[in-house]
């Protein structure tokens, strides 16, 4: 009898833990997310250095990118753009689809030079990107693109 009670107690703990994790994960997916991160992206002889500001809700978002891009010929360009996007799920994978990309007058970076360095969802309208926000702990988030670390935000 004690074994049955112990087994039932253990099963109850497992079920309760699973439900708590499911509720926690559901709340994480539906919550808003705001973060500004200093970032340096390097791909061979191209470098972007600047600030990326993320404001994401469960269905939409805004990303502001401000910084400098150094091309292979060592010319430096300014990047100053805002991206409005739609957020959704495809299966279990979160995806962003860019709706509108606004370039400031100061934005002089050639898009063809930024390809392969910055996700296409930040460069061209109607592009889909799988940028995912993973909560690491109470005060830190990791943004990944195709499961590779992209940005780290700590509050």
Question: Any idea what the CATH number is for the domain that residue 141 is in?
Answer: 2.40.128
Model confidence at 17: pLDDT above 50: no
- Residue 95 domain boundaries: 33-154
pLDDT for 136 equals 85
How far is the C-alpha of 129 from the C-alpha of 94, rounded, in Å?
A: 9
pLDDT for 6 equals 35
Band of pLDDT at residue 104, cut at 50, 70 and 90: very high
- Same domain for 42 and 15? no
- Same domain for 55 and 5? no
pLDDT for 26 equals 46
- Same domain for 95 and 56? yes
- Same domain for 108 and 42? yes
Sign of CA dihedral 93, 37, 73, 106: positive
State the total domains in the chain.
Answer: 2
Read off the pLDDT of each residue in 109-132 and give the average, rounded to a whole number: 82
- Same domain for 48 and 86? yes
Model confidence at 10: pLDDT above 80: no
CB–CB of 140/148 below 8 Å? no
- Same domain for 5 and 72? no
- Same domain for 10 and 49? no
- Same domain for 12 and 41? no
- Same domain for 75 and 138? yes
pLDDT for 74 equals 93
Higher pLDDT, 155 or 86: 86
Task: At 136, list the tokens.
Answer: 């690491």
Q: What is the pTM of this model?
A: 0.70
- Same domain for 104 and 63? yes
Read off the pLDDT of each residue in 126-145 and give the average, rounded to a whole number: 78
- Same domain for 82 and 23? no
How far is the C-alpha of 35 from the C-alpha of 67, rounded, in Å?
A: 16
46 C-beta neighbours (distance < 10 Å), count: 17
Lowest-pLDDT range of 7-16, 60-69, 134-143, 145-154:
7-16
- Same domain for 139 and 78? yes
């Amino acid at each position: 009898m004690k074994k049955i009670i112990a087994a039932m107690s253990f099963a109850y703990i497992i079920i309760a833990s699973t439900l708590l994790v499911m509720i926690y994960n559901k709340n994480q997916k539906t919550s808003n997310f705001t973060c500004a991160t200093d970032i340096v992206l390097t791909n061979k002889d191209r470098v972007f250095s600047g600030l990326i500001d993320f404001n994401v809700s469960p269905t939409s978002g805004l990303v502001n990118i401000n910084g400098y891009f150094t091309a292979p010929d060592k010319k430096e360009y300014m990047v100053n753009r805002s991206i409005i996007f739609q957020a959704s799920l495809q299966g279990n994978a979160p995806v962003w689809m860019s709706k509108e990309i606004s370039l400031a007058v100061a934005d002089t970076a050639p898009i063809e030079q930024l390809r392969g360095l910055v996700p296409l969802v930040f460069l061209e309208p109607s592009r889909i990107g799988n940028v995912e926000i993973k909560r690491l702990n109470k005060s830190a988030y990791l943004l990944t693109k195709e499961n590779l670390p992209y940005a780290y935000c700590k509050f």
